[in-house]
Each structure stands twice: as C-alpha cells, then as structure tokens.
Homo-oligomer: A and B are copies of this chain.
C-alpha cells in the first residue's frame, strides 16, 4: 500500500509501542470510485481514517434521493460518533474517486485510546470538525433559499464552479438542475455574473452576490 502508520499525522505523536499495538488491530484497504464505505443504518465496527481519495457523506430521503452533506479529503477521521455511541451510522459514505482507508477495529482500541492525550486531542479536533460540518449543513439547508445557496457557492467556490458541471453543482447544493439553471439565468439577467462558453464564471458584483445569502 505504501502507507506507514507512523507517517499518518493522527498517530505521529504516538509512542512506538502504541504504533505496534495499532498495527495489530488495523489494516489498509483500497476502494474504487463509487464504492460504498458504509451505509446509513449500518452498525459500526471500524473507525476509519481517510488517507487518500474523496469521500462523500450523504443521507437518503424516503424518495431514494441522495442528500449531499459533505465531502471528506485526507486526512480525516470518520465514523467516530457511531463507534463511540455504538449507534447505527446516521448517514452513508461513498468514494467519489478511488481512495484508501485505514480501518481500525474500534472495540479493541477503546480502552487504551482515551488515555493518550494526543489521541484525545485528535478526537476533539475531529468532533469539532463534525459539529462545524453539520452546523453548515443545517444553515445551508434550513436557512438559505436556493438562490442564496447558489450565490454562496459561486462566491466561496468559484474555481470549483468552473471545474464541474451544473449537474454536479446541483447535487452538491441539493437543488434540482432546473432550479440551478433558472437561478443562474436570473443572476445573469441581473448582471451579477456572466458565464462564458468554457463554463468560466465572471463575477461582476461580488457584494450583490453576498447580499443574497447574508
């Protein structure tokens, strides 16, 4: 695999002893694009460390549609909540690109884990990140209108906008492609943005965009 435990930032400050112990209860696994890491409702068994690739976290609504929540990039700890609390995963995760995961048998880890202050700090960091992620999801989905979401995305992810199709942007924003198309049309009509043939966006009035979501 080409990965070494001691080179992973999470564990770099662990003693050699602990690294050996960790090695005995974990293994690396490669995943292909579109492969599922876990599914909403699954019982957790492993704690995951994303080492390579892009992993999408999403929920599925009763109509079977995917509600985008977040995309993780390396290095991220994933699944700690479900493991700590021993509850089913509240969301699903699938690879967008191919990637690599360190899978750690959580049960065997538990006892020693929380004694190590460095590891505790990593967990706190990871949980803090999760709270922020969820807080953002709530803000995006419960407070912002479709137009506000689009405006925010354009201002905050201009480069990403140009690099993917409207299709995918709509999925990330949890709006239909039609709604995105209509919203972009409106922003163009209002001379706030323009979009050239190569899907490059020109922001004429960043302030006006910002006003739409703040």
Contact = CB atoms under 8 A, between A and B. Distances in A.
A17 interface: no
A68 to B, nearest CB: 11
B59 A142 contact: yes
Interface of A: 59, 61-62, 67, 69, 81, 84-85, 87, 90-91, 114-115, 117, 120-121, 123-124, 127-128, 130-132, 134-135, 137-139, 141-143, 145, 148
A92 to B, nearest CB: 12
A59 B138 contact: yes
Contact of A67 (B121, B128, B142): B142
Total copies of the chain: 2
B139 A141 contact: no
A141 B134 CA distance: 13
Nearest to A130: B131
A145 B120 CA distance: 38
A85 to B, nearest CB: 6
A69 B139 CA distance: 11
Contacts of A128: 81, 84-85, 127
16 contacts: A59-B139, A59-B142, A62-B143, A62-B145, A67-B142, A85-B128, A90-B139, A114-B121, A117-B117, A120-B124, A127-B127, A134-B134, A134-B138, A137-B138, A138-B138, A142-B142
